[in-house]
Structure 1
């Protein structure tokens, strides 16, 4: 299942996403973690030192390889140059799975050893001065979007994306790619303003959205969040000595995380699993096509010099059959 953690800068979403990833590893789930945030701090939150985090390969730099692999033998895609971040899969496309080896993972993923098991970590790459005026950071996230569009996943398989709650994810439709979106919000007006924006965009697309209240210090904070977000408030998280030790670079074993916070993480997993059981593969595919056609018309056709609507395979639907057999892949 695909999980997104979003929130404003400083909300603690990267810390919470890293705790959730550790929790999943402790529960023996297969996990691919993706750092798609501008600040690129997920590696450090998972225990990498500065040099290890800096050495993570950038997905954005591997975009040609990603496109070539995913294109497969799809006859509707004339060349990798005509693939944009919203290009959907079709007959002949290669699909990704969480628990497999493939050239994309070889080039872009690194194994991170946690207390209770290993996970794969991928990162878009940092936003640098050279990007300004040339290629917006969000173009780097296009590599993540292509992978999500070509991913077939099952129960006990998790792709966890730490991402920016920005306008680009709404324009491209990336926000519809997830079984559950956890919006991390502090009990402040700024904290809940991001929730309102996300809720408004998600309203027409059936996006599963739950709020995780972070840095909640007392009943007044709790009542504020309840009043502002209502039933979308799933759990709250307060001060954690374990997290403070982690931020100092001296974390205890994960099993020593406070019981209340372990329960909160289990509530997140339960909510994600409940949402996955309701996944509508046909709607998922329709939304993918909707945003591809929208982006093709607004900028993609002009940029590539091709009619990108022709990339849509009207008979293709991502579903459990693809997940079991890899039906879209060439033999």
Structure 2
């Protein structure tokens, strides 16, 4: 299952995504965590110190390796240099699985021990001073989008992505790559307006969206969110002493997280798991191709000097039946 956490800056998106990842790890559910935010804080939220978080390899720095591995023997992709972030898989492409070893995970992922279980953590890498004026952050998350396009995942295994804050999450086709998107919204006019913006984007592409009301201080906040958001409001979360202690760098055992918050995380899991029943691999592949053709026409063909529409394999549909191990 591919799960995204989105929301405006400061909403608590990274904290809640890290709690969900911990919940999965505590129940021995295979999970890969991905920090795709322009501000890289997921590692720290998962317990890494500053030095460990700073030492995480940037996926963008390994983009040539990622492209070469995923290209495999696909005859429609002449060279890795002609692959762009939206290049879809086809016959001969190598696909990724959650619980496997491969050169991409070897180069880019680092294990983080949570509740006695190791979780792979991937990070896009921070937006650096050298990027200013010459790059946009979407070039950083291109490696994540490529991996999502080539990921064959099943029920009971998760890739959880902490997305960049604000509407930038919808600036590429990556927002259609998820089985469920959890939007973290505060009980404020700004929080509700961000939800409405996300809702409209998501509706156009059939993206499942549920809202986590965060920083809720009482019944009035809950009533406000319920009135403004309606059935999309899934759960609400208030103050947590456990989270406050964790943010001070003194995390307690996860089993001591407050019971209402533990129940809220279980609701997130049940909601994500139920989304599996609505998974449509054919639509998923069509959307992948749609955004690839748009990117090819608008900038990809000119940048690579190739006709990127020719990379589309019309007979290929990504699906779980392709989950058999492939040669490296």
Question: How high is the TM-score relative to the length of structure 1?
Answer: 0.97
Contact 1:165/1:198 (CA < 8 Å) preserved in 2?
Answer: no
Q: How does 1:239-318 map to 2 (within 5 A)?
A: 239-318=239-318
Match of 1:65 in 2: 65
Partner deviation per Cα, 1:50-84 (whole Å, 9 max, x = no partner): 00000000001000110000000000001111100
Give the 3-state SS of the residue equivalent to 2:223 in structure 1.
helix
Match of 2:126 in 1: 126
Q: CA deviation at 1:171?
A: 4.0
Q: How does 1:13-162 map to 2 (within 5 A)?
A: 13-162=13-162
Structure 2: give runs of 5+ residues left out of the alignment: none
- Give distance in 1, aligned partners of 2:165 and 2:245: 28
Q: CA deviation at 1:170?
A: 2.7
Match of 1:163 in 2: 163
Give the 3-state SS of the residue equivalent to 2:31 in structure 1.
strand
Structure 1: give runs of 5+ residues left out of the alignment: none
Contact 1:93/1:330 (CA < 8 Å) preserved in 2?
Answer: no
Q: CA deviation at 1:167?
A: 5.0
Range with bigger deviation, 221-230 or 68-77: 221-230
- Give distance in 1, aligned partners of 2:280 and 2:169: 21
Question: How high is the TM-score relative to the length of structure 2?
Answer: 0.98
What do you get for the CA RMSD once the two structures are aligned? 1.2
Q: How does 1:166-177 map to 2 (within 5 A)?
A: 166-177=166-177
Match of 2:199 in 1: 199
**How many residues are aligned here?**
328
Give the 3-state SS of the residue equivalent to 1:92 in structure 2.
coil
Give the 3-state SS of the residue equivalent to 1:16 in structure 2.
helix
- Give distance in 2, aligned partners of 1:186 and 1:310: 45
Give the 3-state SS of the residue equivalent to 2:43 in structure 1.
helix
Q: CA deviation at 1:169?
A: 4.0
